[in-house]
Structure 1
């Protein structure tokens, strides 16, 4: 079987501490031909100096001295890769990839026809790579309802095929930059895959997911981090309406190919603030938020006050 070509998509920001280890782990991927596309989102540390040392091995995406934020920065890298590869993979700046990570993903994806996305479990480690645990102990729900209301897919494990990439880079189907500030790149790719193709989840882990003081998931797992996240949501209106914004973007840009029943639910969520009739219909919808961790009362109150 011919060696598959994989575009690894990286966005860095002040990643000097762990970036070298991550890059070296990418170069040791087994049985694939990799090309690394990397955009630095205006780091203020020595990240750029590190990248200059790898210029021969990494395609550096021009940032025009603009800090886009993680979601938009990653999507810029995704667009830059176009559709010239067999597979594509997001990569964070501070993890360690096991040598078989891409190979295992491709093995699962190769059995699927049409647009497909692979995600996997994660091995959680501390900043010194000491074992903490695994992210999940059983398969996770990969339906569009789960991703829309309580996403559990993580970008650093995502690998997808060229069929899905063609949808993602098509100009008329690209997400609004405003959306990517509140529902970042991995949520978008997961949602697109869930409505136009298939998602496979691997309960095995081929990545060491580093938990440290600047790590988003690690911060959220702390009590203080949870309170900070909660405070930001209640004080920033844009963060409180992310789910309806996401639904509106997906239905508007993929409505021509999405299943009719799914489209009706997405359009309802995306337009419930437009008139009272739609709000009542959403209040009576028992399936859309069935996978949310929030109570039914909390969901209904959020709908009433336009906070979904």
Structure 2
């Protein structure tokens, strides 16, 4: 049996790097795929620049919802035209390893795909000239809903998922407001007792440049940026959005996940730090590193979670 992929590109004014991404898709050792591109651009002038290359790969170009990158990816993943065995999110300015689709396919073919499964992994960080800067953090603790509530370990540009996982997205309201499509997807799949597969081997070169919406999560500058976001209350705001989204789709969550979510709500709502710490302990929530968990405690002290 030949497994087919739908490659899902959510674009917005792709000016410089889309061609390299298209070429890396063309060079894949696994060649059973279709490309769907949902565009949020103000104009379609960029399509003239890439029209020949998009035609070569048979890309189907769709109109995006124009309300942000998360909605663009989620609306594309739920498009009824998609009929595949596996689905791969794809950013407009990355570069894929030629073995990406084939190697990830081997993981899925050895599993029961009636269960929602979501693959994600590390990335190689490159600059605008495709020079290697480093790699995204290596996470060693197991993916779970108790981690997903307070941390996203899966970059959307690495994610591949099966139809059982896609069906979870299809069961969500179309107007659901989320912080990011990848973080929500991590929460959704783990919360519904699916499996998230975290791969320490990188298959994607993630291009770090000034126009990126989300920066690379490496180095002390990234740590300082996260501290500033914490102190500014950004994480608290994000958690509020995520909790509201999860309450909206709570019928999809397992009883254990619902319990964990309620304990997280109690943790955030309690007036006393000691009470917040007690509920955090009861919930079992964790981040992937010691410093991350220390930051979580500090956030609880300051009521910034």
- Deviation of residue 298 (structure 1)? 2.3
- Deviation of residue 234 (structure 1)? 6.0
- Deviation of residue 255 (structure 1)? 3.0
Give 1:59-208 correspondences, 5 Å limit.
59-63=60-64, 67-80=66-79, 84-113=83-112, 114-137=115-138, 139=140, 141-170=142-171, 173-174=172-173, 176-179=175-178, 183-196=179-192, 197-208=194-205
Aligned pair count reads 293
Give CA-to-partner distance per residue, 1:187-209, whole Å, 9 cap, x none.
11111111221011111111111
Give CA-to-partner distance per residue, 1:146-192, whole Å, 9 cap, x none.
2221212101110011111111112xx2374432xxx2111111111
Between the aligned partners of 1:296 and 1:70, the Cα distance in structure 2 is 31
Between the aligned partners of 2:22 and 2:164, the Cα distance in structure 1 is 27
- Deviation of residue 94 (structure 1)? 0.7
- Deviation of residue 226 (structure 1)? 6.9
What is residue 264 of structure 1 aligned with on the other side?
259
Return 212-221 or 155-164, whichever deviates more.
Answer: 212-221
- Deviation of residue 132 (structure 1)? 2.2
Between the aligned partners of 1:15 and 1:218, the Cα distance in structure 2 is 17
Indicate conservation of the 8 Å contact 1:42/1:67, yes or no: yes
Between the aligned partners of 2:83 and 2:101, the Cα distance in structure 1 is 17
Between the aligned partners of 2:99 and 2:149, the Cα distance in structure 1 is 30
Change (3 A) 1:255 1:212: same
Between the aligned partners of 1:201 and 1:148, the Cα distance in structure 2 is 16
What is residue 210 of structure 1 aligned with on the other side?
207
Change (3 A) 1:14 1:231: farther
Between the aligned partners of 2:122 and 2:213, the Cα distance in structure 1 is 17
Return 69-78 or 216-225, whichever deviates more.
Answer: 216-225
Give CA-to-partner distance per residue, 1:15-67, whole Å, 9 cap, x none.
2110111012112222241111111112469533335442571111123xx53
- Deviation of residue 110 (structure 1)? 2.1
Indicate conservation of the 8 Å contact 2:10/2:73, yes or no: yes
Unaligned runs of 5+ in 2: none
**TM-score, with length taken from structure 1:** 0.81
Unaligned runs of 5+ in 1: none
Between the aligned partners of 1:187 and 1:235, the Cα distance in structure 2 is 20
- Deviation of residue 141 (structure 1)? 3.6
Return 107-116 or 246-255, whichever deviates more.
Answer: 246-255
Between the aligned partners of 2:246 and 2:108, the Cα distance in structure 1 is 23
- What SS class does the counterpart of residue 72 from structure 1 fall into? helix
Indicate conservation of the 8 Å contact 1:248/1:270, yes or no: no
- What SS class does the counterpart of residue 150 from structure 2 fall into? helix
- What SS class does the counterpart of residue 200 from structure 1 fall into? strand
Between the aligned partners of 2:211 and 2:10, the Cα distance in structure 1 is 15
- What SS class does the counterpart of residue 35 from structure 1 fall into? strand
Indicate conservation of the 8 Å contact 2:123/2:136, yes or no: yes
**TM-score, with length taken from structure 2:** 0.82
